[in-house]
C-alpha cells in the first residue's frame, strides 16, 4: 500500500486538533492493512498488541458468553478507533473484531498508546468519549434484552444500524454492510426462525426489503413505532 496522506486523518475525532506535521508523525508509525469480509482482526481474550483505526468498511464486535454463545455487541463505522484495550486498562481484547465488509485499517503497537495520549492534544479526550458512547450503547442493548419484546428488539437493532451506517437508496435506507438474518438474531437474543418470520411480515407491510445479506428499511417511522419510539 502506497504512503498514506495526512488528509486521511484530518477531521477524525482523535486527531481533529492536530496539525499536519503531527498527523504525518502518526501515519509514519502506522501499519495499514486490508481485511476481507468475514476475516478476523483479533480474537476475544488475545493479548492486545495493537490498536486500530478503521479507514474503510465496517467492523463487527463479537462477545462470547460463558456458555459459548456468540453475541454481536456492536458495529464500528469508518473513522473510529477500535481494539483500544489500553483505554480500558486491559492487556487483552475484551471482544473479537471481524470485518463485516471489506476493510482498510491502520494499526499501531500498544506501546505507543501512552505516548499518543501525552503528546497529541485531544487524543485522550476523544478516545474516552468513544469508550463512553460504546458503553452507553451496550447499556441500552442490555436494557432492551431485559425489558423489550422480541419484535421491539429486532426493530430497535435495525434502526441502530440504519442510524449508524445507513445510506439512502431509491427504495429506502440500506444498512451499508452485509447483514444476515443470523447476524440479527445474534444481536437480539432471539432465534433465526423468529427473525425470518418478522422480516417476512415487515416486508409484506412495507417496512423493510431484505435479501440474503442486505436489508433496506423502507419505513423508518414504522420501525420506530414498533420498537416503542415516539419521536
pTM of the model: 0.81
99 with 19, same domain?
yes
Question: Are residues 128 and 156 both part of a single domain?
Answer: no
Tens digits of residue pLDDT in 72-127? 888 898 999 999 999 889 999 999 999 999 999 999 999 999 999 999 988 888 88
Grid coordinates representing 67 are 456458555
Q: Is residue 231 part of a domain?
A: no
CATH number of the CATH domain containing 189: 1.10.10.10
Q: Is residue 108 part of a domain?
A: yes
Cβ(23)–Cβ(9) under 8 Å? yes
Are 121 and 70 in a shared domain? Answer: yes
Condensed to tens digits (0 to 9), the pLDDT of residues 16-71 reads 888 899 999 999 999 999 999 999 999 999 999 999 999 999 999 998 888 888 88
Q: Are residues 48 and 101 in the same domain?
A: yes
Q: Are residues 51 and 128 in the same domain?
A: yes
Print the domain residue range for 190: 148-226
Check: CB of residue 67 under 8 Å from CB of residue 102: no
Residue 114, C-beta contacts closer than 8 angstroms, at least 6 positions apart: 86
Q: If pLDDT is split at 50, 70 and 90, which confidence band does 173 have?
A: very high
Amino acid at each position: 500500500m502506497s504512503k498514506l496522506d495526512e488528509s486521511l486523518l484530518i477531521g477524525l475525532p482523535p486527531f481533529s486538533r492536530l496539525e499536519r506535521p503531527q498527523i504525518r508523525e502518526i501515519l509514519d508509525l502506522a501499519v495499514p492493512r486490508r481485511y476481507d469480509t468475514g476475516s478476523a482482526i483479533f480474537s476475544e481474550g488475545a493479548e492486545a498488541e495493537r490498536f486500530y483505526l478503521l479507514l474503510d468498511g465496517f467492523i463487527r464486535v463479537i462477545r462470547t458468553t460463558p456458555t459459548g454463545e456468540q453475541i454481536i455487541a456492536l458495529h464500528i463505522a469508518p473513522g473510529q478507533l477500535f481494539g483500544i484495550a489500553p483505554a480500558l486498562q486491559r492487556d487483552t481484547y475484551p471482544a473479537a473484531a471481524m470485518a463485516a465488509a471489506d476493510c482498510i485499517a491502520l494499526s499501531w503497537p500498544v506501546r505507543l498508546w501512552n505516548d499518543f495520549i501525552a503528546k497529541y492534544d485531544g487524543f485522550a479526550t476523544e478516545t474516552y468519549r468513544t469508550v463512553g458512547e460504546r458503553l452507553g450503547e451496550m447499556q441500552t442493548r442490555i436494557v432492551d434484552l431485559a425489558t423489550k419484546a422480541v419484535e421491539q428488539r429486532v426493530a430497535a437493532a435495525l434502526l441502530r444500524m440504519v442510524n449508524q451506517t445507513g445510506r439512502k437508496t431509491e427504495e429506502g435506507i440500506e444498512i451499508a454492510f452485509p447483514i444476515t438474518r443470523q447476524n440479527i438474531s445474534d444481536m437480539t437474543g432471539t432465534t433465526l426462525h423468529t427473525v425470518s418470520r418478522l422480516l417476512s411480515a415487515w416486508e409484506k407491510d412495507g417496512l423493510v426489503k431484505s435479501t440474503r445479506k442486505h436489508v433496506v428499511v423502507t419505513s423508518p417511522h414504522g420501525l420506530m413505532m414498533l420498537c416503542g419510539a415516539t419521536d
